[in-house]
Chain A
Amino acid sequence: MTEHKIRVLVAKPGLDGHDRGAKVVARALRDAGMEVIYTGLRQTPEMIAEAALQEDVDVVGLSVLSGAHMALMPRVMELLKANGQTHVKLFIGGIIPDEDLRLLKEMGVAGVYGPGASTDEIVRDIKHAVAG
């Protein structure tokens, strides 16, 4: 029997093509001993939910720089729920205005990160959220 590895899906929904941030976070999670499934650019919420199901992840992390987070996040949550994956913790990083930050947290998003967030903080928050 082996210890449970935290599995994280890192995805970039929407149409902006800048995935540097997503890659930096993926790398940091890897260095923290997690298994990161990286899906690449321009994923639809449907693709993200399907990958989260097939990979049986504990965490889904989205990177959104386009400003479409208030449309994308609820849709991803809805699809995860429809698939029976209510235990999956959601994290989002990108350009998120302060007024949306509160709304996202209210929706049940476990962590929201803007420019300059430290990867140590993200790692700590994910470990904490998964440990429940």
Chain B
Amino acid sequence: MTLSSSILNGDRLSLARLLTQVENDLPEGRASLAELFPHTGRAHLIGVTGAPGTGKSSLVNQLTLYYRKQEDKRVAIVAVDPSSPFTGGAVLGDRVRMRDLAGDAGVFIRSMASRGSLGGLAQATAGIVQVFDAAGYDVVMIETVGAGQSEVDIAKLAHTTIVVEAPGLGDDIQAIKAGILEIADILVINKADRPGVENTEKSLKSMLDMAHPVRHVFQHHGKMEAVEVPSAPVYNSWIPPIQRTISTEGMGIAEVADAIARHLAHLRESGDWTARERARLEVELEALLQDALVDRFRAAFPQKQYDEIVESVVGRNISPWEAVTMLMSGRLK
């Protein structure tokens, strides 16, 4: 019996082993992924991202508890933490905040090191998610590494992306910068019992107002005035809700779960689900194609000549661009 058929039968040890094979990109792993792929496409993939220490793991823990108790959904969690750029080692500590989930057979937690990948996920995360999807988990939560401003790969993998903020992490200029806030389908302000929560909410709201104008009525020099919404085309009818939580106490969790459910319904009704699925799989295909092409090119190109070209670049004899042109054309000096 192959690993994939035992996984479809619910065997957890086989599941754990296949996750390792996929993570290490072994040929057996690829073969099983191919067998499992027709069984994917059913799970709701929820991404959770945000700066380090905002409470991503605690939120994932609480949301999972909620799904287990209130909705009887089976939940898989993929938690990514960074690898050391120097030694390749990692300390994966997300389980520390998820101890409430221990002993529940309806939950499977897998920690992953980013292994040099820079977008907030590991290269193999998409494959790991597919395995969980095929294994019949209703919800797969993907927790990124503590993200800065541009680790936005999660939006290409997940159906619903939650960006977790916490009070006191920056002024309102941070809120109009491009990057991580743009990918949010749901904004969570965690640690809402901390001072500064009103300011954080205000800057996030004003950011959303710029992206999704609404009719404003306000008092100006003692007169009521209204600013109408310009009849610009509506780019996206989903306006990300802002939800306050205190994850450690479970406050606001039901509301976040409700926002996730509304977003899922929106995806289904608007046709965005199909569009996102297509975009998701296309991105994955392209990433794999790039790797395969680079591998094929490098395998066919003599290492000695490659090293010589690198040397010429290091010696400032040719520019990196010229080097690429030479490599691609096969014409060597």
Contacts and interface: CB of A to CB of B under 8 A. Distances in A.
The B contact surface, by secondary structure, is: mixed
A40 B96 contact: yes
Given A35-B89, A54-B110, A30 B84 contact: yes
Contacts of A2: 24-25, 115
Interface stretch (B10-18, B152-160, B183-191, B237-245): B10-18
A50 B111 contact: no
Contacts of A32: 87, 89
Which of A3, A7, A26, A55: most chain B CB closer than 10 A? A55
A51 B95 contact: yes
B66 to A, nearest CB: 20
A71 interface: no
B103 interface: yes
Contacts of A29: 89
Given A47-B103, A50-B102, A40 B92 contact: no
B95 A39 contact: yes
A44 B103 CA distance: 10
Contacts, number: 86
B89 A50 contact: no
Interface string A1-31: 1111101000000000000000000110111
B13 A36 contact: no
A46 interface: yes
A43 B111 CA distance: 17
Given A2-B115, A47-B103, A53-B13, A33 B87 contact: yes
Contact of A35 (B26, B103, B108, B113): B113
A110 interface: no
A118 B20 CA distance: 30
A66 interface: no
A85 interface: yes
B109 interface: yes
B196 interface: no
A113 interface: no
A83 to B, nearest CB: 6
B25 A1 contact: yes
Contacts of A54: 12, 16, 108-110
- List the 3 closest pairs (A to B, CB-CB), nearest first: A30-B89, A40-B96, A56-B16
19 contacts: A1-B24, A1-B27, A2-B24, A26-B91, A29-B89, A33-B89, A36-B91, A37-B95, A37-B111, A38-B91, A39-B99, A46-B103, A51-B95, A51-B109, A55-B16, A55-B111, A56-B19, A83-B13, A84-B13
Interface of A: 1-5, 7, 26-27, 29-40, 43-44, 46-47, 50-51, 53-56, 83-85
Interface of B: 12-13, 16-17, 19-20, 24-27, 83-84, 87-93, 95-96, 99, 102-103, 108-111, 113, 115
Given A1-B26, A46-B102, 17 more contacts: A1-B24, A29-B89, A33-B88, A33-B89, A36-B91, A37-B111, A39-B99, A40-B95, A43-B99, A44-B102, A47-B102, A50-B102, A51-B95, A51-B109, A56-B19, A83-B13, A85-B13
